[in-house]
Amino acid sequence: LEKLRGRLSRSRSSLGQGLLGLLGAGDLDEDSWTDVEDTLLLADLGAATTADVVAKLRAELSTRGVRTAEQARAVLRSVLVEALRPDFDRAVRALPHGDGEAKQPAVVLVAGVNGTGKTTTTGKLARVLVADGRSVVLGAADTFRAAAADQLQTWADRVGARVVRGKEGGDPAAVAFDAVKTGRADGVDAVLVDTAGRLHTKVGLMDELGKVKRVVEKQAEVDEVLLVLDATTGQNGLTQARVFSEVVEVTGIVLTKLDGTAKGGIVFQVQRELGVPVKLVGLGEGPDDLAPFEPEAFVDALLG
């Protein structure tokens, strides 16, 4: 939590200080409410969430008669946390770890546009699982980016996992298939597949990622499709999330580079619009810079 606070300091300064300065000042006039709105929009909360949050804040502040910055902070915190807990029709499941007896490996596909941090996230996730005593096979199915397989190999060597890779420019689905096959044969707990992230067209993505999933499903259930989004891209991330979720059933979002942006508010929009939970956040380039997403901790970090 301390780390999250520190890493989110840029978000904190823009959202927390601005809002608390406004809300702590007692009765707000219309201009101040407009400033509150602008602050939330600038932090990427999106129009719908901003309208909701402002309406709730107005109601809460007037009924409770908030007078101090401390009280304002408490109200703001609870309104924002609530906004991060939409009614998902699907419960937020814990990430699959495999059953530890390795009857069937848990299969996780990691998807996303190149540059978002897909390979890094796959590596970090492997590290978390291995540290938890699980055996892991990594599938280097991003065969289009020349360095991706080597990068994944470096992570695997570092954390102690095996990599299955194919020919450069080869068929991603074939690599994914082999990775799952190897994982089953070796009796590992989890197979993490770093998929190709070419978003040239929706049809192209469908052909690639959709095929990877279909081919993997010939031998194992896919437990999780994690979509990696770069928080620094703001609204672009939302657009990417829409396209991917039309192609495959995305079961969770990993929001990366939260350490480098004041745009963490995209979390609100992604969850609200897609109904897909943000499960993990990336807080840096190092092996330990992956954390579970926790609304309370996130809002605290945002508010400082």
Q: Which residues are near ligand GDP by CB under 6 A? A: 112, 114-120, 145, 148, 151, 197, 256-257, 259-260, 282-285, 289
**Smallest gap, in angstroms, from Cβ of residue 233 to ligand GDP?**
12
Query: Does 116 carry a binding-site annotation?
Result: yes
- Residue 39 or 195 with smaller CB distance to ligand GDP: 195
Joined tokens for residue 303? 């508010």
**Smallest gap, in angstroms, from Cβ of residue 182 to ligand GDP?**
21
Query: Does 114 carry a binding-site annotation?
Result: yes
Q: How far apart are the first and last CA of the chain?
A: 11
User: Could you tell me if 192 and 162 are in contact, meaning their C-beta atoms sit under 8 angstroms apart?
Assistant: no
Query: Does 165 carry a binding-site annotation?
Result: no
- Residue 105 or 117 with smaller CB distance to ligand GDP: 117
- Residue 111 or 130 with smaller CB distance to ligand GDP: 111
- Residue 83 or 253 with smaller CB distance to ligand GDP: 253
**Smallest gap, in angstroms, from Cβ of residue 176 to ligand GDP?**
15
Residue nearest to ligand GDP (CB): 282
**Smallest gap, in angstroms, from Cβ of residue 159 to ligand GDP?**
15
Query: Does 98 carry a binding-site annotation?
Result: no
User: How far out from the chain centre does Cα 302 lie?
Assistant: 16
> Hey, how many other C-beta atoms are within 10 angstroms of the C-beta on 221?
10
133: left (phi over 0), alpha (psi -120 to 50) or beta: left
Query: Does 117 carry a binding-site annotation?
Result: yes
Query: Does 113 carry a binding-site annotation?
Result: yes
- Residue 24 or 260 with smaller CB distance to ligand GDP: 260
- Give the Å distances, CA to CA, from 187 to 69, 166, 213: 56, 21, 21
Query: Does 3 carry a binding-site annotation?
Result: no
The rounded distance, in Å, linking the Cα atoms of 213 and 25 is 53
**Smallest gap, in angstroms, from Cβ of residue 3 to ligand GDP?**
12
Q: What are phi and psi of 248, to 5 degrees?
A: -135, 160
**Smallest gap, in angstroms, from Cβ of residue 260 to ligand GDP?**
5
- Residue 79 or 302 with smaller CB distance to ligand GDP: 302
- Binding site feature residues: 112-119, 194-198, 256-259
